[in-house]
Each structure stands twice: as C-alpha cells, then as structure tokens.
Structure 1
Amino acid sequence: MAILDSKGRLFGKFNLLDIGAIFVVLLVIVGIFLFPGSGSVAQVNAKIVPIEVDLVVRGLNVRDPQQLYANGFAKDGKTKVIIRNQPYGEIKIKSIQELPRTLSVPQPDGSLKELADPRKNNFSTDMLLTLEGKANLTDTGVVLGNSKVKIGMPFELEGFNYNFNATVIDIRIQQ
C-alpha cells in the first residue's frame, strides 16, 4: 500500500487538504488561548482620569447663536461626539464662549489693527467650547472611547438641532 494514492489521500483514508485545514484551525485555537487579549493596544497600562478638551469652532453658519446656546447646548448640557467617524457617546459641555468677529485693518502708518467686524448681515459665528469627561490615560496620550485625542483633531458634535465640526486646541488632565 502506497503512502499517497492517486486521489491525494494519505494511506488511502485522509485527504491532505483536510489535514492542512485541521492543522490551521488547531493553530488558531492554540493562539487564542495562549495569547488572549493581545489585540487591544489602547488599554494597556491605562488609567481613567478626568479631562477637559477645548474645541474651537470657526465660521459656524447660524442665524441666532444665542438660541443655539439656549436650545441646543444648554437643554441637557451634553452633546454627542464623533471622533474619526467613530461615535464616542455623550460628553458634558462645561462652557461656551462666543469669540468676537474681527477684521485686520491696515493703518496709515503701515501697521495692522484688529477691529470689530462692522457687517450686520454676518451669520458666521466663532466659538470656544470646553467639554469635560473621563478618558483613559496611556503612555501615548489620552484615549476617548477607542480614539486617541490630540491637538488639531476634528470632533463632530451632534445634538437635537445641530451637527458641525470643531477642532481640538487644548487637552487638560484634571488632577
């Protein structure tokens, strides 16, 4: 009797492809049980700390910013956050500060002076938002949900009557 017959069977009973598939399945099972939880890097050596994140919103087109603050943000004091197209959940809004709209006006002596924007039909608003919540502190930075938070990252804020983008300008770890 031959070790390998004309149909590719070992000793006439076992197909070589079936033996290879069983071997691969066994390797996967051994890998799962010998190295469990090795897939998540963000939670290694992480501790949960309270943080504050400052966001700047530039050029938000809104008819009445005060109504947005009163009805949109202050209604429940929270907003939904989406970081890198991954929903994080709700986070508390600590403060909202409307930034003044200014123009750089050249002066007769050649210098520039920042003056208030005199246009009355301007529906563009700039604001500074401070959000506060809890995040994982790792060796490489702060992690909200599964996303690292760094200065310059865009956040998408969503609520009952708004959806717009903001940019992270500061991250403070509270002690």
Structure 2
Amino acid sequence: MAIVDSKGRLFGKVSILDIGAALVILLVIVGVLLPSLTGAQLSSNVKPVEVDVVIRSVGSQDPKTLLKEGDKTSLIIRNQPFGDIKIKAVKELPRNVAVPQPNGTLKALPDPRPEAALTKDFLVTVAGDANMTKNGPLLGNNKIKTGTKIELEGFTYDFSDLYVIDVRVGA
C-alpha cells in the first residue's frame, strides 16, 4: 500500500491539502495567543509610578475646576491611548518676570500685566501602575521617561504637546 495514493490522500484516508490547511490554522492560533501569553508575564513586575508634567498657559474662567486631585483623566503617550489615570496632585505655578535691579542682579517678581491673570501654569502629577522592564517603566505598551510626549484629555479639556518632566517609580 502506497503512502500517498493517486488522488493525493495520505494512506487513502486524509487529503494532504486538508492537513496543510489544519497546520496553517494551528499556526495562526499560536501566533495570536503567544503575544498575549508573553504580555501576561510582564504584568508580574508591576509597580506604582508617578509622572509630573507642566501645563502652560491654561486659559479658562476657572482653571482649577478643569483638573481636580483625585479625578481621572485620559492619558495619551506618543499618540497612543493608554486609558484613564488618576490625577494625584495639581499645583499652580507662579507667573513671574525677571526684573533688573539697580545693582545689576535680577529679581523674580509677580507678572503685573493684566493679561497674565487670564492664563495659569500648573504642575500636574498623575499616578498609575506600570510594568517594569530592564529599559524602564511601561504604561500600556509605551515607555514613560523624562521628555516623553504625552497628552491629558478630559470631558472639557485637551492638553496636548506636554512633556514629562519627572518619573518616580514606587512612589
């Protein structure tokens, strides 16, 4: 008895094309499941992380109502959505100007211009859980480091072109 007969069947029972199709389907299933299994291994090293960002020139009638401590905001890292993250702290930064003194030094004084009162600067700290890798913390699948471009988006605001100024792991 021949291994492959004249009709292309293995041992006269199973077609070689059917076996090839079954192998392709099996490889596709393994290819889909394998990345999710390796991703599950990353989550075993999760640590809390805090990220500081400066938001400049917030123009609003009452900017303190936009960002509130304890609220959630949507975080976008390098144009890739991460999801919601908690706002841990919001600190208003003073708007100062450098004023030359008679002795040649500079002194920082509050900006006296009326239009300076229309915009505010804030130091915002957001906190979440990051997967730790040998290259640093990952929020979602994105590295988060000083200088990383992010966006914060809420129901009534969208702050884009922000850059991380500090990352604290295990804070």
TM-score by length of 1: 0.71
What is the one-letter code of the residue matched to 1:174?
G
Identify unmatched segments of 5+ residues in structure 1. Answer: 1-21
| Aligned pairs for 1:15-164 within 5 A | 29=27, 36-37=34-35, 44=42, 47-60=45-58, 62-64=59-61, 67-70=62-65, 72-74=66-68, 77-122=71-116, 123-164=118-159
Q: Secondary structure at the match of 1:37?
A: helix
Residue 57 of structure 1: how far off its partner (Å)? 1.3
The 3 A distance-change label for structure 1 pair 138 and 63 is same
Q: Percent identity?
A: 44
Root-mean-square deviation (CA, aligned residues, Å) is: 3.3
* SS in structure 2 of the partner of residue 126 of structure 1: strand
CA, structure 1 residues 114+75, in 2 after alignment: closer, same or farther (shift >3 Å)?
closer
AA at the equivalent of 1:80: S
Contact 2:43 2:131 survives alignment (8 Å): no
Structure 1 segments, 4+ long, off by >6 Å, are none
Name the CA shift for 1:73/1:134 in 2 (closer, same or farther; >3 Å). Answer: same
Q: Unpaired runs of 5+ in structure 2?
A: 1-19
For residue 53 of structure 1, give the secondary structure of its aligned residue in structure 2. Answer: strand
Deviation at 1:75, TM superposition (A): 8.9
How far is the alpha carbon of 1:170 from its aligned partner? 1.0
Mapped partners of 1:55, 1:99: distance in 2: 12
Q: Deviations over 1:6-39 (max 9, x none)?
A: xxxxxxxxxxxxxxxx8xx96x949x57xx439x
What is the CA–CA distance in structure 2 between the aligned matches of 1:84 and 1:136, rounded to whole Å? 17
Q: Using structure 2 for the length normalisation, give the TM-score.
A: 0.72
- C-alpha distance in 2, partners of 1:68/1:126? 9
Q: Which amino acid aligns with 1:94?
A: K
Amino acid aligned to 1:155: I
Contact 1:54/1:129 (<8 A) preserved: yes
Go from structure 1 to structure 2 and tell me whether the alpha carbon gap of 1:138 and 1:74 turns closer, same or farther (over 3 Å shift).
same
Given the superposition, is the C-alpha separation of residues 119 and 92 from structure 1 closer, same or farther in structure 2, using an over 3 Å criterion?
Answer: same
Task: Give the CA deviation at 1:45.
Answer: 8.3
**2:14 corresponding residue in structure 1:** none
Deviations 1:45-73 (A, max 9, x none): 8611111111111223x133xx3322x32
Secondary structure of 1:127's aligned partner: strand
